[in-house]
């Protein structure tokens, strides 16, 4: 049994956000209206937003870290670079400049 769809949702969002999301949805074959319907259904199932809304902890500052924690962060960053799991600095700045 199919319920008649008789309600509308009108929202204003940034053009670039809309474009990126719609490209992803098109790639996976989900119409925008279906994705929004899925989001609303997840809100109902979860009795709230279906993902965590948190403020991240402050970025670690050297002055507030002991030597072991600092060395672990440095070692992790070094290994990511050696293993090719890092991004080119120009690519990172391009992303930051786009305001993500």
- Going by pLDDT thresholds of 50, 70 and 90, the confidence category of residue 83 is very high
Task: Give domain status of residue 5, yes or no.
Answer: no
DSSP assignment, residue 17?
Answer: H
Q: Domain for residue 53, yes or no?
A: no
CA distance 28 to 25: 5
Residue 26 located in a structural domain: yes
Q: Is residue 29 part of a domain?
A: yes
Residue-wise pLDDT for 6-62, tens only, equals 999 999 999 999 999 999 999 999 999 999 999 999 999 999 999 988 876 777 788
Domain containing 27: what range? Answer: 15-46
> Cβ contacts of residue 36 below 8 Å, gap of 6+?
9
In a domain, residue 57? The reply is no
Cα–Cα dist 25/8, whole Å:
20
Indicate whether 38 belongs to any domain.
Answer: yes
| Domains in the chain, number | 2
If asked whether residues 42 and 68 sit together in one domain, one would say no
Read off the pTM. Answer: 0.53
Q: Is residue 3 part of a domain?
A: no
Read out DSSP for 61-93?
Answer: -GGGS-HHHHHHHHHHHHHHHHTT-S--HHHHH
Distance between CA atoms of 31 and 22, rounded to whole angstroms? 8
Instruction: Dig out the tokens for 31 from the structure.
Output: 């119409």
């Amino acid at each position: 049994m199919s319920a008649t769809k008789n309600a509308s949702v009108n929202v204003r969002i940034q053009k670039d956000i809309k474009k990126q999301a719609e490209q992803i949805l098109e790639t996976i074959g989900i119409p925008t209206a279906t994705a929004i319907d899925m989001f609303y259904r997840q809100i109902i199932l979860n009795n709230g937003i279906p993902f965590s809304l948190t403020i991240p902890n402050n970025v670690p500052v050297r002055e507030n870290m002991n030597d072991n924690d600092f060395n672990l962060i440095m070692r992790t960053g070094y290994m990511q670079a050696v293993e090719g799991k890092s991004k080119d600095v120009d690519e990172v700045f391009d992303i930051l400049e786009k305001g993500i």
